[in-house]
Amino acid sequence: MLGIYTLPRRSDQGFTLIEMSIVLIIIGLIIGGILKGQEVIESSRQKAIITQIDEMRSAINSFADKYNALPGDYQRASERLRPDMIDGSGDGIIGVSDNDGVSELASEPANTEEHVEFWNQLAAARLISGTRILTNSTPDFFGEGSPFPESDIQGSGLTVLYGNYDVDTNIERRSHWLRVQKGLGDVGRATESMSPKMMFEIDIKMDDGIGTDGTTRVASGNGTPIGRCVEDITGEYLAFDEEVQCIGYFEMLE
């Protein structure tokens, strides 16, 4: 008697719930790892900015203690630092005062601007590294080959300026400021380098956590941070906004 032969059945069974759960867990772990990695990178950049500002302040204080003058404004730079240094005016102000804020820097010719000589003189005094002394030009980039030091945020770096900075409030503060910015094609017109969230995290560690007050402040490329980096009236940061639209200002000497 012949048996009945049947073709093997094709399995049309999909993933089981357990298998799908495992896949979803793996995807969740991958996404979580990516987000955690981004958080670690962001935290590292914040710490690097804070460390750099503190180191610059220390270097400036050391220069002032040794030479009894601010770098860039030092009248005997060519005599005591390097013959090719350009002497400052000795008036106690780096660059040219801007009574309306700090959006503009010195308007002198490039080879005599004190805000460039500021970095040249710090480097000549061997108080900073990673820059190049240039006394006859103002380059449009940060870091190696430039007097302007770069920061840990790609494409950004530090400039120095003097002004009465109040960020559209009545909390004026006439002082010298270190500015973390992008864009050096026109030194006086900085472009944004940080998000409101990042600036908030830095500010609460260095100052009072208010973007329009104290020794750590914020602006944006169009001049006012209101509605872009901070709330109107209160000056509180838009601390959950991660869009890059802020420029950080840090008082040079506290």
The secondary element (H helix, E strand) that includes residue 247 is: strand 247-251
Which pLDDT does position 162 carry in this prediction? 84
Q: What whole-number distance in Å separates Cα of residue 151 and Cα of residue 71?
A: 20
Q: For the chain, what are the domain ranges?
A: 24-251
Q: Is the distance from CB of 146 to CB of 119 less than 8 angstroms?
A: no
Alpha helices in the chain (DSSP H): 17-67, 77-80, 114-124, 196-206
Q: What whole-number distance in Å separates Cα of residue 216 and Cα of residue 123?
A: 25
Buried b (16+ CB within 10 A) or exposed e, 20-55: eeeeeeeeeeeeeeeeeeeeeeeeebbeebbebbee
| The token pair that represents 70 in the structure block | 């601010």
pTM of the model: 0.79
Virtual CA dihedral for 174, 175, 176, 179, nearest 10 degrees? Answer: -70
| The token pair that represents 105 in the structure block | 């820097």
Of residues 176, 179, 199, 181, the one with CA closest to residue 253 = 176
Which pLDDT does position 104 carry in this prediction? 40
pLDDT tens string, the chain, 254 residues long: the values are 555 555 555 555 566 777 777 777 887 777 766 665 666 667 888 999 999 999 999 999 999 999 999 999 999 999 999 999 999 989 888 875 443 334 344 333 333 578 889 999 999 999 999 999 988 777 888 988 999 999 989 889 999 888 776 655 556 778 899 999 998 755 446 789 999 999 999 999 999 999 988 899 988 876 677 788 998 888 899 999 999 999 999 999 87
Q: What whole-number distance in Å separates Cα of residue 171 and Cα of residue 226?
A: 14
